Structure 1
């Protein structure tokens, strides 16, 4: 800037001006401008071409995603159908007649755009009885009607369990389909691909369910999908066999109806497609590398796969490893290449190769590039012309304006951002009212937004962690509840079952199956009238209808016909079953066996009858004892009266001062009378209750009476005190015994 303001510049000669700094600056500026303009035009053409290529790639990618999404939707329907067939086959494994009716009903979808050409159930052959479980297969004939074929069960046909569409399913989960490569079926003569789903019963592989899709239907599907595309679509299976070709290429190729061509054959017929071979190999390598990251099966398990040539065996193992893991989850764009002089488009073309999830099909989207090159040249020329003018004008003002307008503010902003000095940015925002001030303000606003968003993300993350913890607890509780319910159903000695509103069993426990002599699979989905047509169950139907009407539990005694031919009484409690919306969807029942209770009741009734009989006997004996006690009480009262009279007489005699011998004689006479009466009462009692000591004392009293009466002839000396002592002792003993 200082040199430009020197006054000597205006006084130099022309030659000196040419050699001055100003001329040099101008020539340098012109040279730089020429280089900039030329390089800008060249770079612009390159960039524009690359940008257009990227745009075309994005268009191809978007269209490929749309096509594969549509394909995934269609193939997903057939996968779901195959999974449903596998579930039905596992449920009715022992009921081939049911399968004969259900499988055709599932295959005959009655849709206009249905691509199904056949399908069926293929049981795993038994090593001891290879033909014990025949296959059930149907295909569509020329009139689009399902026809069953049994040729696969003959010995002349190659065993189906050795086919490539069957053997990998042994390693697949129950809800994942294996899509076979294209092949021509030797029996039906149809060129097709097969979606195979394993049939598992209690985690054991028992066969496969298949859905066959003819290549004619797949060709029509891809033709419909490519109508809005300026190019065309080629579809390959994982072994690079052609699933779909545009009609223009089919007309140029010597194809036969029985031929299943692959990409190698197409490259030999049309060498321009040889350029696609490395890209297709990259797809195979990507599948194999992904399988090596997380292997799921051992080498022993993978030996059951069919042996294929070259790297196709490794590719099949990789597909078996990746499919249960759900890789790829979305359509993968593996590679994009340019094709020189496409035989159908007659110009350069771009080919985008996609890997389709689930089926591992390779979808090739081919679009022309001629319009792209033309647009690149036109846009580069127009932009280059205007760029020359702009560059010339800009070069004149660049030196004067760049430092003031751009360099200084940009340097200041850069330094501020580098130092993270937000206060300087606020000052710059207030000082400048142009874009730099707006940029500083936008940056400050963005910083505040980022802080707010970070806080929101932190809160969201915390909430999600809490939600995950709650979900884990809920899942653990659900697993515990499931294990408890399983244990209850397995070990409970009471009968437990549930039915839907139509009376079909939806849940039964092991004890109920044991009593009925039926397997669980035979009971589920059936009504009592179907299982036991010869047995009427009016009480069961009446009680179930009562629960459905009242919505309240009901308990009653019901008979159950067990499989041995007998009948047992059960006390059954029935209750209404509701779904998560509190809507009634069935009736449950819990019952316990009353046969033991009945036996105990009979034993108790017999014991009660015996006790009642013994009680009657005891009552009779008690009545007799009461009567005897009453008689003894009356006698006791009589004796008390006699004793009172005797005492009164003795007192009277004492007052009259009767002689002692007479007094004793009267006293002994009175005692003898009482003794006779008491002895008569005692002899009337049973022998077991008679006191022999008392009888001996009674005899002694009689001897005393004889002794006293003997005094009339011979007087014996006797002490009065001794006599009264003996009399009192005898009277006291007599009174005690009578009590």
Structure 2
């Protein structure tokens, strides 16, 4: 009893130990890790969002606010410029209306100029008549008033002095002539020569009876205009300053006057002078230059005035300001009063703040003045960071609290019940699991009940499923293997049939075609759909159909494969084919079909007949020659006959050597028959009798044999046509492919050096005899079997055709020829004596057939080079 209790205690300890050691794989631990990772990702993404996206959004908002303030400044300036333009137009109307009434003009204009500006904005103004227009007695008759030290407008007659060029040549006067009525020309900033005031002039043209009679002007003091840009109390960013430039990029506002220790104002000075003093602002000048260039290109695409039309005013303008003046005049005519454009850039440093700043450049379309708003980035960043920190802290606390609440409820409602179900299933205590399931009415209780029901069902089903699955897997594996082998067989047969250059067909025992390959349809000129199911009598003439049926009966009676020569109608006319027919049997040995493979031998038959006729003629001539020698002629006559007889003997010998094509035909025929026998065996073998390895070997051998036959057939059939020409590179490739087994047996690599698509005016048959003899000679003598080589064996065939001379070069890296033997061989080739040998026979054949020659160079154990030269006539 004590032992049993001890065992139970030990089992409980082991179970507890097992549960404790598996805590890393427990669902509680995994969910805790997942919750922690999710919390980290949420917090990290929130922080990133706050300190990047929201910060950027705030920066963009502040930038928009800054630009809007710049637009507000422009709007205020446009109100001022509109008043000035209205005032100038009013003065111009006074001048046009009271021309010649000097007292009335002098009484009205001062009252118009005094509009109560509190910053002394208007420095002066008046009427500037064209010479002779307000009275011919005075060439200069201006009416100009300037503000004095007591803010009163005083009449000045200094411009009417006869000294100097006169006001009608001034830069603020001449351009106004080209402006339309009611349009204002805003001049560049300048220092008035009489009042010494830095100002800018608004000029309005005056016209009477459509004639230019003068200009009405209003002068704006830059000192008064500068005060309108002091916005430290109005700027919503609380920091920053404004730079203002006129249409010629001269300063209208100087925000650095308090920082200047030399008390020299920059008003009216070019921007380049300010850049010299503060190089940090150089990027602003570069960007303004780009803006001005773009504006000039836009306006001058279709100008109202060409440069030659503005020649008078341009000659009085400095060279560097002529292009800008031309653009402004044309812009006023085209009416370029669009919305102010905005360009933004950042500077690494600033003269006032010594920190990165944000620069916004706005252009007033009406006056082409530029308002440059400079705001330090530190103020924007501080405000953005403060907002980001507040939002970030709130979001962080809210997310942490939400994750904590989620973890507690998830653990109580989901993780712990699942852990209890898993514990009960692991311990096999289904009773406790069922008890817990009855207590709970939620999805967890339903899950526990489903586990109990499924557990009982699975125990019953597992036994039957295991046996069924095993049987099905075995059956399925066998079926898949058989199906795969069947597909491989089918693909193999189709590939062989359609790749073959021979005619292949199968007929059933009733003589109906059941299969034909692509070559059969191509040669016969009949579609496959028309052939299948037809008999020979339906496709061929009765004479040929009778021959085919006779051969079929021979195969059925003999039950063996046989070859026949018979004519066949083709798209090229009637041709002679060598046809091999064989019976196809089922696994019981019964004939179920007849197969046939056919190769065109018309060229071989024609060549054979030609050679037989040549041999007969040479035999007759040989007989006549022997009879002439037996007659014992006179010595002198004998001297004349003997060389001729020798030549005739040589010709006879060459004719006999020409039997090589017939031998080559026999060789190809034997290879074709061997191929056909292989195909017959393949059809007769059972599919289960060939494994994958043997099938691959069989396919590779069969493919190689077909390739050799195709190249050999291409070489032989090349002489069928009447065209006496040969494509050299393609011909040599076919020859090397046909000799591939011999070259592989001797481990010799053949290289072809021939121009692409070089056409030679030589019979393909003669070219074949020459190349085949030379290759056979080199394989036999350059690489003897009894000598070992420690370098790769190579043969190089070179072909050149220049000035109607064919040069064929064959160079090997074999054993070479000794000097003594080389001298004897060269002497025999040069003297055409009765010596014997393959090279001498080739040389004799070249001399007799083409009037050509063969030369040889060699070095023992290095190389041998054969050079054949054949004079060829293209005609």
TM-score band, normalised by the shorter chain? Answer: 0.3 to 0.5
The alignment's TM-score, normalised by the length of structure 2, stands at 0.40
The alignment's TM-score, normalised by the length of structure 1, stands at 0.47
